[in-house]
Amino acid sequence: MAATSVPAVSEGRRGTAVRAAVCHGPGAPLLVEDLTLADPGPDEVRVAIEACGICHSDLTYVDGGWAVDYPVVLGHEAAGRVTEVGGKADGPVVGEKVVVSLIRSCGQCRACRRGHDVACTGRMHLHDHSPLTDPAGNPVTQGLYTGAFADAVVVHRSQCVPVPEDLPSTSAALLGCGVLTGVGAVTNTARVDAGEAVVVVGCGGVGLAAVQGARIAGADPIVAVDPLPNKRDAALRFGATHAVDADDDVTEAVRAATGGQLADHVLVTTPAPAAMAGALDLAAPMGTLILVGIPDDGVTTEFDTGLLAVRNQSILGSKMGTSRPAVDVPLLVEHWRAGRLDLDGMVTSVHPLEGIAGAVAEMRSGAAIRTVVCPGGTER
């Protein structure tokens, strides 16, 4: 995942002062500091951040699980308002409310032409030059291409998707990563059909979004697996037909739920290596295992390749739900407006930027689905 953090290189462009939560090393606390944010260049926009969810990817970087250049500003699941458009950038206009995603797409490379935005190989200015500097002029890494634990960000225009004014920013922010990833893993990667059996292993924000995506797709049954009772209860609220303790005999529970057939699709949304190791046992012949959660660098697991072939099973990776933000975010908004997608219920608590330490602690405790920080200190 280090490739999704901009190297700490700056070029001294003019900029404006912002407050941002900075991490100075593995295990270090996030400290709110004054930085300078460069003005947007061609094809770039500045967005005033109204809300940013705390994702487990942020915590993995804080803990040193993925390589990154410190100091770094994290936060990549954001919503806000466009305040400046650089050069002749097409797309978002000043004053527009947008969701900000870490997915950048040049629109020209082979991957983008095939609709694979998450695999874009184009090089943009912001890939090599962080827009952030400290008071001494030293560069600060723009984490996950976004750096949204801050008053404002400068991002490529492709990272911004307009959303309606009546969608609360605290809910809209989740469309930038957790919901985009979870629902996308169901619809874009697994391509779940009505009546298919789905198992979701891990019921954090991404997992619960996957549960909702499976429900929207008409899957039946939907079996949610998690060691925490509160997460299992949440899964049932969001549409799971069954909830299973990860410490129980999960394979037998899935057999019981499916009439002995096991699952057509098993989505592992947690990065826990143990969850990945046993997940293929939950899949039926012709079934698919979708790996959504990304573990620490260097973590591996093993599969019986002969059994995989004999059962005609597939293993798929799903980075960011194989999503195209410009296409998928509007579809998610449609589901929200129709009452099919519950975003408000996934927001456990809202904190000012200065309260980010408490928000992080709440996420680590397992008690929260998503905690959200609002740099302005209020929900919008």
Distance from C-alpha of 356 to C-alpha of 19, rounded to nearest angstrom: 12
332 within 8 A of 79, measured Cβ to Cβ: no
Asked whether the whole model's pTM tops 0.85, one would answer yes
Are 214 and 296 in a shared domain?
yes
Pairing of the two strands 97-100 and 44-53: unpaired
The verdict on 115 and 260 lying in the same domain is no
- Is there a single domain that holds both residue 158 and residue 18? yes
- The predicted structure's pLDDT at residue 1: 46
Q: Is residue 190 part of a domain?
A: yes
Residue 251 CA neighbour count, 13 Å, CB half: 9
Domain carrying residue 119:
2-176+348-374
Q: Are residues 159 and 206 in the same domain?
A: no
Total of domains in the chain: 2
**Taking a C-beta distance cutoff of 8 angstroms, is the pair 242, 249 a contact?**
no
Amino acid at site 100: V
**Residue 12 falls within a domain, yes or no?**
yes
Q: Residue 21 sits in a domain of what CATH number?
A: 3.90.180.10
**Based on the domain organization, do 95 and 193 belong to the same domain?**
no
pLDDT digits (tens, 9 = 90+) for 278-326: 899 999 999 999 999 999 898 888 889 999 999 999 999 999 999 999 9
User: What is the pLDDT, as a whole number, of residue 303?
Assistant: 87
pLDDT confidence of residue 276:
85
Residue pair 25/61 in contact by the 8 Å Cβ criterion: no
Q: Which two tokens stand for residue 121?
A: 């190989």
Could you say which of 281, 300, 319 is where a domain stops?
319
CATH number of the domain at 260, please: 3.40.50.720
End-to-end, the C-alpha distance of the chain in Å comes to 31
Same domain, 147 and 20: yes
- Secondary structure letter of residue 11 according to DSSP: -
Question: What are the per-10-residue average pLDDT scores of the chain (380 residues)?
Answer: 54 84 96 96 95 95 93 97 85 94 96 96 93 96 96 97 97 98 98 98 97 98 97 98 97 97 97 88 97 92 91 96 97 98 97 96 93 75
Burial class of residue 177 in the structure, from the number of CB atoms within 10 Å of its CB (0-12 exposed, 13-18 middle, 19+ buried): buried
363 contacts: CB under 8 Å, gap ≥ 6:
54, 56, 59, 370, 371
User: Based on the domain organization, do 162 and 62 belong to the same domain?
Assistant: yes
Neighbours of 227 (CB within 10 A): 17
- The counts of H helices and E strands in the chain are 12, 18
Q: Give dist(CA 220, CA 199) in Å, integer.
A: 10
Co-location of 229 and 353 in the same domain: no
CA angle, 144 then 54 then 68, to 5°? 30
The pLDDT value given to residue 89: 59
Domain-ending residue, one of 302, 319, 336: 319
Q: How far apart are CA 313 and CA 349, in angstroms?
A: 40
The sign of the dihedral angle between the CA atoms of 6, 9, 11, 16 is positive
Q: Are strands 97-100 and 77-85 parallel, antiparallel or unpaired?
A: antiparallel
Task: Judge if 231 and 124 occupy the same domain.
Answer: no
